[in-house]
Amino acid sequence: MSGFQSNTSIKLLAEKLGLSKGTVSKALKDSHEISAATKAKVLAAAQELNYIPNHFASGLKSRKSRTVAVIVPEIVDSFFSLAIKGIEAVTQEKGYHINVYITNDLRSKEEDIIKVLSDGRVDGVLISVCREATDNCHLKKLADHGIPLVFFDRVADDIEAGKVVTDDFEGGYIAARHLAEQGCKKIYFLSISEGLSILRKRMDGFIRALHENNIEDPTKNVYQIPTDKTKSEEAIKILLSSPHHRPDGIVASVELLTIPIYNACKQQRIAIPDQLKVVCFSNLLYASILSPSLSTITQPAFEIGQQAARLICNSIERDTFIKNERIICPSKLDVRESTSTSVLSN
């Protein structure tokens, strides 16, 4: 198989047509210095022989790959898969390709991935950073190689780049206020990381809402939950079974916490929403058919992906770095059974 190559090169076209490589190349690019007659001949031959310009050869000179890297902590997740779908929709339309990388929220993998992206393989990088907070110097190095960077959702605040996020403070605020309005008195915020800026912002919004509802020292109501499947359920059970701190409302800062919360309640025989109201930052399609259906702060994940893709493509095409452009796509509260004051039949 190795010897078999049906790939027609410019050289081959030139020989068949009795022209030089340069002339054929220019004709294919519709250069003004080639006559219409020659162009027609070249086009016809290219069509017939199914000529496809070699990606490496064109990239070598142009230094463009028409490819962007997409780095995410996870892909089996409504938010991230929707965001990637949004990114892909835009890039496909613009004739770009995407390289997808999954970090599994491991900083070491993120670094490894970034490291190999400086070989010219990608023209830009879209990233949602992993949980562990650090200096982010691996990301700064991208700039040294002239590779534009756009964060989506999980941004690194200390780096100058494009950022596409949702109004996280507002989301946290609205979620907590909603619970308060539904009569909750002991509202807790479940986080999975102190380092992730979007979670801090959601938490800040949460705290603000609690302040406004005259709850003293709301920071005590913030809990860090491990992300490990069994550990997270364990941690939530402990919270739910605490004698006099037992919450009657929970704001879950990430979708991942939904299953452990539901499982913990099931096992502890805590009725949602009667004994505990739950609202979750989530894009879950299935939120509406959970039992009870889940109230969510729904992020515009697809749009975030689209905006991030547009931003990076523009940066690449204009060949200009992004100073600190920030696009904010508002989230919205979808009220469902899990936060209702009486169980709805609907």
Residues binding a copy of itself (CB under 8 A): 1-2, 4-7, 52-57, 59-60, 65, 67, 70, 75-78, 81-82, 84-85, 88-89, 92, 97-102, 109, 113, 116, 118-121, 144-146, 258-259, 262-263, 266, 284-286, 288-292, 319-321, 346
Other beta carbons within 10 angstroms of residue 243's beta carbon come to 5
Q: Provide, rounded to whole angstroms, the least separation between the CB of residue 74 and a copy of itself.
A: 8
Distances (CA, A) of 261 to 23, 98, 157, 180, 279: 67, 35, 30, 19, 11
Phi then psi dihedrals of residue 69, to 5 deg:
-85, 140
229 binds, among DNA, a copy of itself, none (CB under 5 to 8 A by kind): none
Contact status: 116 vs DNA (CB under 7 A): no
Q: For DNA, how many residues bind (rule: CB under 7 A)?
A: 30
Rounded-to-integer distance, Cα 171 and Cα 301, Å: 14
Q: Which stretch binds DNA (CB under 7 A): 12-20, 122-130, 138-146, 204-212?
A: 12-20
Q: Which stretch binds DNA (CB under 7 A): 51-59, 135-143, 243-251, 322-330?
A: 51-59
118 binds, among DNA, a copy of itself, none (CB under 5 to 8 A by kind): a copy of itself
Distances (CA, A) of 276 to 184, 186, 229, 293, 318: 8, 10, 21, 13, 52
Contact status: 3 vs DNA (CB under 7 A): no
- Indicate the Cα dihedral angle 167, 170, 176, 180, nearest 10°: -150
Contact status: 61 vs DNA (CB under 7 A): yes
34 binds, among DNA, a copy of itself, none (CB under 5 to 8 A by kind): DNA
Longest CA span, the chain: 90
Yes or no: say if 261 and 292 are a contact pair by the CB < 8 Å rule.
no
Rounded-to-integer distance, Cα 254 and Cα 224, Å: 12
Residue from 126, 133, 74 nearest 97 by CA: 126
33 or 135, CB closer to DNA?
33
Yes or no: say if 17 and 37 are a contact pair by the CB < 8 Å rule.
no
Q: Provide, rounded to whole angstroms, the least separation between the CB of residue 61 and a copy of itself.
A: 9
Q: Provide, rounded to whole angstroms, the least separation between the CB of residue 132 and a copy of itself.
A: 18
- Which residues are CB-contacts of 2 (< 8 A; sequence separation ≥ 6)? none
Contact status: 26 vs DNA (CB under 7 A): yes
Q: Residue from 2, 3, 18, 289 that binds DNA (CB under 7 A)?
A: 18
DSSP secondary structure string for all residues of 81-144: HHHHHHHHHHHHHHT-EEEEEE-TT-HHHHHHHHHHGGGTT-SEEEE---SS----HHHHHHHH
327 binds, among a copy of itself, DNA, none (CB under 5 to 8 A by kind): none
Rounded-to-integer distance, Cα 150 and Cα 133, Å: 18
Contact status: 58 vs DNA (CB under 7 A): yes
Q: Provide, rounded to whole angstroms, the least separation between the CB of residue 241 and a copy of itself.
A: 19
Q: Binding marks (x or -) toward DNA, 243..282, rule CB under 7 A?
A: ----------------------------------------
Q: Provide, rounded to whole angstroms, the least separation between the CB of residue 7 and DNA.
A: 6
Residues interacting with DNA, by CB under 7 A? 7, 9-11, 18-23, 25-26, 28-29, 33-38, 51-54, 56-58, 60-62
